[in-house]
Amino acid sequence: MLKKKKKEETEAPENTTEVLNDDTTAAQSEETQAAEQGPSAEDKLKEELSQANDKYLRLYAEFDNFRRRTTKERVELLQTAGKEIIVSLLPILDDFERAFRSMDQATDVVAVKAGVELIHSKLTNILTQKGLKPMEAIGQPFDADLHEAITNVPAPAEDMKGKVIDEMEKGYYLGDKVVRFAKVIVGS
């Protein structure tokens, strides 16, 4: 029996070697078949990763260019923001210079006054065309969002309490936005 066991033991390792050789051959043939069929899953993932990385870099560069362009445009806009209004006000400046020259030689105050009123109306028209609107404050209830109270005085009538009695400086809207608050005197 001892001889039989020895024989079986010597045969058993040979059989395992044969089984291992068969497994290795099968794995190699599967790899060969997979290589013949196309790229492996790992290769596909690497390719997708490189494509995603390339897409990210392009998108980042595009965003960086957009940011630089908008910053440059914003700086240019700030530098030339008032150009249109200034160009439209130049004729009024010329009118004032002519009025000053004519005031030195003028003897008729009525003509000088008419000239200044003409310049004022011209200036008002240009500013109105640009969206500037005067604020009506006198007689209106005091509103801290629109008015700046300089002082309170006793109201001349009971219905004027809490309302604007007088206006020291006119307020203005540009479009729908307040660009200058009216400085007012409020009745108390």
Spatial contact of 142 and 131, defined as CB atoms under 8 Å apart: no
The whole domain housing 166 covers 133-188
Sites in the chain below the pLDDT cut of 70: 1-38
Question: Residue 162 falls within a domain, yes or no?
Answer: yes
Model confidence pLDDT, tens digit, residues 121-157:
999 999 898 888 999 988 889 888 889 999 889 888 8
Question: Residue 80 falls within a domain, yes or no?
Answer: no
Question: Residue 38 falls within a domain, yes or no?
Answer: no
Give me the number of domains the chain comprises.
Answer: 1
Q: What pTM does this model have?
A: 0.54
Question: Residue 175 falls within a domain, yes or no?
Answer: yes
Q: Is 122 exposed, middle or buried (0-12, 13-18, 19+ CB in 10 A)?
A: middle
Question: Residue 168 falls within a domain, yes or no?
Answer: yes
Question: Residue 102 falls within a domain, yes or no?
Answer: no
CATH value at residue 185? 2.30.22.10
